Amino acid sequence: MNYKILNFTVFGDVRGSLISLESNKSVPFEIKRVYCIYGTNPEQDRGKHSHKELEQIVVCLNGSCSFVLDDGKKRAILTLDRPDVGLYIGKNIWREMKNFSEKCVIMVLASEYYDEKEYIRDYGEFLKCLES
Ligand code: TYD
């Protein structure tokens, strides 16, 4: 499946920790957009879509949440709970976000500007697109 766990280099000392993310270096694409999700509700799942071209890296900066990834054949469930780990999600992966902890903060680095036309928000359509 087209996803990867990225372990970022942490510069840590008695003052705390620092992580630096750079386009085409620790991040395997040119970053065109950054967005954050916060104020989530453990009862309310998010995501439930795929992207035709978009690549993303998801980092859980605080708290934790689960990602369900699906390529039409297999499903993987991952928990993100630390800021020095990124979840790379390639194109044509259905994703669902669940089990948001209290004060969960998610940062997403994206390879393209926001474009609603590029989303597939229907699971049946997602499966159909994989065949073509
Ligand atoms: P949505 O796709 O439902 O969030 P998620 O699937 O990550 O839970 O997006 C919520 C709203 O935010 C929707 O109206 C689209 C808008 N939006 C933008 O305007 N720009 C963006 O970069 C993103 C990710 C969403």
| Residues carrying an active site annotation | 49
Give nearest CA residue, ligand 1 atom 4.
47
Bridge pairing between strands 94-98 and 46-51:
antiparallel
Q: What confidence score (pLDDT) does residue 30 get?
A: 98
List the 56-62 sheet strands across, edge first. 3-7, 85-89, 56-62, 105-110, 33-37
Give nearest CA residue, ligand 1 atom 11.
116
Ligand 1 closest atom vs CA 37: 7
CA distance 82 to 86: 9
pLDDT values of the chain reduced to their tens digit, one per residue, 132 residues: 999 999 999 999 999 999 999 999 999 999 999 999 999 999 999 999 999 999 999 999 999 999 999 999 999 999 999 999 999 999 999 999 999 999 999 999 999 999 999 999 999 999 999 987
Ligand 1 closest atom vs CA 108: 24
CA distance 108 to 71: 20
What is the DSSP secondary structure assignment for residue 100, as one 8-state letter?
A: P
CB of 35 sitting under 6 A from ligand 1: yes
Q: What confidence score (pLDDT) does residue 132 get?
A: 77
Q: What confidence score (pLDDT) does residue 6 get?
A: 97
CA–centroid distance, residue 112 to ligand 1 (Å): 13
CB of 46 sitting under 6 A from ligand 1: yes
129 phi, psi to nearest 5 deg: -65, -30
Domains and CATH numbers, the chain: 3-8+29-131 (2.60.120.10)
* 41's tokens: 């509700």
pTM for the whole thing? Answer: 0.96
